[in-house]
Amino acid sequence: MDIKSMTLEELKTAVAEEGEKPFRAAQLYDWMHRKLAEDYGQMTNLPAAFRKKLMEKYPLTALKQVDMQQSGIDGTRKFLFALSDGNLVESVWMKYRHGNSVCISSQVGCKMGCRFCASTLDGWERNLLPSEMLDQIYSITRATGERVSNVVVMGTGEPLDNYDNLLRFIRLLTDENGLHISQRNVTVSTCGLVPQIRRLADEHLAITLALSLHAATDEKRRELMPVAFSWQLDELMEACAYYFEQTGRRMTFEYALVGGVNDTIEDAQKLTALAKPLSAHINLIPVNPIKERDYRQSGRSQIEAFKNKLEKNGINVTIRREMGRDIDGACGQLRRRHIPHISEERCGLTE
């Protein structure tokens, strides 16, 4: 296993195998996860011979910044990183009044095939390691010189399709010996993998789970999201109820409003019926049209009417604010521009 993905306990075992004292593990962990060292050379309080051994046995994962764009409107920064194997991932840094938020990718590409999403157009390449998810946050912290307080796993990839690595990532990110980000400040967004939602419920974490719902009937959901052929809405809602029951955490339902597809008052009514029993918060996203598909955004008045209907029904609802409009702010766009055979597209970068 790569050393930056090890828990402190696992690191202690690894260090003991090298014949070193246990306190070396704590030092090493501190360098990697708190001081955010990029290489062993920086770890000056470790014996040189030990560092050399580590370098040979456990090469440190590190990201190389390939590009960065900054918004002149709201200061949002979009980073493109190369992984050790040359694959590219995108992460976004957003400044809010309540702190800095980073949106990270969980996979290289995606296999879920949501019809409106640009991240899935070229399929799935591989899962990210826990350390590669952490590295996105660590690199951005170093680059901005500012603490990250919120993390959203909403970039490219389906996090629950990379379950074990995601869980390990969350535990390391929120560990008191690392960046110690509060679990309450971590959001994981899923397209709705039912068995994994149930499994996640059983972990009893205090994170927020966001479900990309996008439609309130099976028929409409299947049009937008192939994953809806695997599980029906009633099974999905049962899993969400189980999640709420087990964790006490209200879920967020994300709903991309697509003109003429899912934006009628009747849709709002059906959505209410799904959200109400779960006390779910609804986040409305005006869909970001991509060139390969002819989906379009709902009109302003349609969006307002949809929101008003939900509010009247007693649902807690927000319209997602778009950040970094003037940069390639949307998911997958910067990455796609750097891969020659792929054209520029907009996905849905938002709050």
Residues of this chain that interact with ligand SAH (CB under 6 A) are 112, 114, 116-117, 154, 158, 189-191, 212, 254, 256, 285, 287-288, 290, 347-348
**Residue from 126, 151, 127 nearest 137 by CA:** 151
Supply the DSSP string of 171-227, one letter for each residue.
HHHT-TTTT---GGGEEEEES--HHHHHHHHTTT--PEEEEE---SSHHHHHHH-GG
Between 11 and 156, whose beta carbon lies closer to ligand SAH?
A: 156
Cβ 332 vs Cβ 349: under 8 Å: no
Q: How far is the CB of 287 from ligand SAH (least distance, A)?
A: 4
For residue 113, what is the DSSP state? -
Between 174 and 189, whose beta carbon lies closer to ligand SAH?
A: 189
Tokens found for residue 331: 């998911």
Q: How far is the CB of 42 from ligand SAH (least distance, A)?
A: 33
- φ, ψ of residue 339 in degrees (nearest 5): -100, 115
Which residue in 110, 117, 240, 331 is the catalytic one?
Answer: 331
Q: How far is the CB of 44 from ligand SAH (least distance, A)?
A: 40
Q: How far is the CB of 294 from ligand SAH (least distance, A)?
A: 12
Tell me, yes or no, if 38 is annotated catalytic.
Answer: no
C-alpha 332/C-alpha 351 separation (Å) is 16
Q: How far is the CB of 301 from ligand SAH (least distance, A)?
A: 19
Which residue in 20, 90, 158, 345 is the catalytic one?
Answer: 90
Burial class (CB in 10 A: 0-12, 13-18, 19+), 68: middle
What end-to-end distance do the CA atoms of the chain give, in Å?
Answer: 34
Tell me, yes or no, if 347 is annotated catalytic.
Answer: no
**Residue from 63, 57, 60 nearest 32 by CA:** 60
* Residues taking part in catalysis: 90, 331
